[in-house]
């Protein structure tokens, strides 16, 4: 009974935070002619409801791809269509072809916010609770504390309930995939992740660890026996799921090519806006977009992404445990964010998900990363008028993370899973000094984020440097992400799975 009370309180607090943020402004509010992501989601409902599936991804007189053309996989389109059916019942004007463009009203905002909340309740929140209670060690209170901190992650709340998107669907499905694999339900896990990939193509950030874990498990069981049978079952599950999601487009190869063209718009360039990755940060010193051709940029980003993914992927392939799997998810998605082609600032939510899964084992580093990831989106959040919810939710997350998970108290070499590196570090720092240095660095980092947030709001940048503060935010966040990528790789490559805290793969 006590556990249910704690879980209920945890979920209620998470839902309250979400709904409170939903009263804020959203992307593109009152800003014609393109408005913003809110209008993009509404427009997709309009298009999917009024046009046949074969026209969803094509430029026609009724579907202007220059105005928020659909550029996510079919499952997103089906979700938009489902929302559109409810919108049509409540108020047909919300999805009326052409005439509903730029529609804004209090009742429509309530409807759109409610659709995000329902998706969260049905997909993301149950996955979080089950993960924390089924795959985490510790007392019930500790599991609830971990779940609460994940549910209060500011980045996801601010983007989905402030800016306006449905990231909780793809991330929730990916978490169901992790849960399935962690519980030994490989077919369920494969199904869930395939659905996540068919909802948002950015789930490719997580795809390599899923592939390596499942293949490594099949190899471990023997590719001439049980492993081969498991591999065939997984392959069939993935293929059938893809076929069902893409069914309306399979009859015409031109349809498939057009959908893929929309999903991977290479022509947009190496990066957009001020994203906290390698290319945007490097652009401060070297104008790489001007110096290199687009094809060269594409090859360079691909090569570096693969280079940084390979070590953790190989380790996971040879030792397919849940612990290795979670670390590989972080390392793969963070490498994609830092080095891949055409990255958006909101893509940091992809690495944030697996970092949330490490909240129980590595609370200090997880909280540090999640705060930095939220801070990295500050220019976008300020543009959307989300300063107040950004400050409140970030402070709440910091308080609960540090107090409930004892993050600062768990900063020893052993707690950080760096014990195997002791022979290297002991010549530079003692265990005690390493802990003190990390605590000090964490506090300085948090103060610096607060200071940059404050100056971004109250100070006007110099006329000759109008993007000064967004650039400072991006570069500062990039340095955090690069350092944490090296840390998580170090943990994965040097430390074997802990027998006490990891589940068996068989």
DSSP 226: I
Give the pair of three-digit tokens for residue 36.
């913003």
Cα 302 to Cα 280: distance, rounded to the nearest angstrom: 16
Cα 101 to Cα 38: distance, rounded to the nearest angstrom: 11
Residue 324 CB: number of other CB atoms within 10 A?
26
pLDDT in tens, the chain (506 residues): 567 888 999 999 999 999 999 999 999 999 999 999 999 999 999 999 999 999 999 999 999 999 999 999 999 999 999 999 999 999 999 999 999 999 999 999 999 999 999 999 999 999 999 999 999 888 888 999 999 999 999 999 999 999 999 999 999 999 999 999 999 999 999 999 999 999 999 999 999 999 999 999 999 998 888 999 999 999 999 999 999 999 999 999 999 999 999 999 877 778 777 899 999 999 888 888 888 888 899 999 999 999 999 999 999 999 999 999 999 999 999 999 999 998 899 999 999 999 999 999 999 999 999 999 999 999 999 999 999 999 999 999 999 999 999 899 888 888 888 866 655 555 666 677 788 889 999 999 999 999 999 999 999 999 999 999 999 999 999 999 999 999 999 999 987 545 444 444 44
Cα 63 to Cα 56: distance, rounded to the nearest angstrom: 7
**Number of H-type helices and E-type strands within the chain:** 23, 0
What pLDDT score does 428 carry? 63
Spatial contact of 336 and 354, defined as CB atoms under 8 Å apart: no
Q: Which of 104, 56, 62 is nearest to 78 (CA)?
A: 56
Please tell me the number of Cα atoms within 13 Å of 46 on its side-chain side: 23
List the beta bridge partners of residue 271. Answer: 343
Distances (CA, A) of 89 to 81, 85, 263: 13, 6, 30
What pLDDT score does 502 carry? 46
pTM over 0.85: yes
What pLDDT score does 84 carry? 98
What pLDDT score does 504 carry? 44
Distances (CA, A) of 441 to 215, 358, 365, 410, 435: 39, 20, 11, 14, 10
CA angle 117, 120, 124 (to 5 degrees): 170
DSSP 72: S
């Amino acid at each position: 009974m006590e556990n249910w009370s704690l879980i209920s309180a945890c979920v209620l607090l998470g839902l309250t935070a979400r709904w409170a943020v939903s009263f804020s402004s959203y992307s593109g509010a009152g800003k014609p002619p393109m408005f913003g992501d809110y209008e993009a989601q509404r427009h997709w409902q309009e298009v999917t409801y009024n046009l046949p599936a074969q026209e969803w991804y094509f430029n026609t007189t009724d579907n202007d791809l220059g105005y928020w053309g659909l550029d996510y996989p079919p499952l997103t389109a089906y979700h938009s269509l489902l929302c559109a059916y409810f919108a049509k019942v409540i108020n047909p004007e919300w999805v009326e072809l052409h005439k509903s463009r730029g529609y804004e009203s209090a009742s429509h905002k309530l409807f759109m916010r409610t659709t995000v909340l329902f998706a969260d309740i049905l997909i993301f929140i149950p996955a979080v609770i089950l993960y924390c209670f089924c795959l985490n060690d510790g007392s019930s209170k500790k599991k609830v504390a971990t779940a609460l901190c994940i549910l209060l992650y500011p980045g996801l709340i601010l983007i989905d309930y402030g800016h306006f998107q449905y990231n909780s669907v793809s991330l929730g499905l990916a978490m169901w995939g992790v849960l399935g694999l962690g519980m030994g339900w490989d077919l369920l896990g494969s199904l869930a992740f395939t659905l996540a990939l068919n909802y948002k193509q950015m789930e490719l950030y997580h795809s390599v660890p899923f592939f390596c874990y499942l293949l490594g498990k099949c190899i471990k069981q023997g590719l001439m026996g049980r492993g081969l049978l498991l591999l065939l079952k997984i392959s069939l599950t993935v293929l059938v799921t893809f076929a069902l999601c893409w069914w309306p487009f399979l009859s015409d190869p031109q349809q498939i090519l057009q959908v893929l063209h929309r999903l991977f718009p290479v022509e947009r360039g190496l990066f957009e806006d001020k994203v906290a990755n390698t290319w945007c940060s490097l652009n401060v010193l070297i104008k790489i977009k001007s110096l290199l051709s687009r094809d060269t940029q594409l090859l360079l980003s691909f090569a570096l992404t693969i280079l940084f993914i390979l070590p953790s992927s190989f380790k996971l392939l040879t030792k397919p445990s849940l612990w290795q799997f979670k670390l590989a998810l972080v390392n793969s998605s963070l490498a994609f964010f830092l080095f891949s082609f055409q990255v958006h600032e909101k893509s940091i939510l992809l690495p944030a998900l697996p970092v949330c899964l490490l909240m129980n084992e590595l609370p200090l580093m997880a909280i540090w990363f999640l705060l930095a990831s939220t801070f990295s989106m500050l220019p976008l959040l300020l543009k959307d008028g989300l300063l107040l919810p950004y400050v409140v939710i970030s402070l709440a997350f910091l308080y609960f993370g540090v107090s409930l998970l004892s993050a600062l108290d768990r900063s020893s070499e052993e707690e950080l899973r760096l014990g195997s590196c002791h022979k290297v570090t002991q010549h530079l720092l003692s265990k005690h000094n390493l802990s003190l240095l990390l605590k000090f660095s964490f506090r300085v980092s948090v103060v610096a984020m607060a200071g940059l947030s404050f100056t971004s709001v109250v100070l006007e940048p110099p006329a000759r440097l109008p993007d000064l503060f967004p650039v400072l935010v991006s570069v500062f966040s990039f340095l955090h992400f690069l350092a944490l990528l090296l840390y998580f790789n170090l943990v994965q490559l040097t430390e074997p799975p802990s027998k006490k805290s990891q589940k068996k793969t068989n």
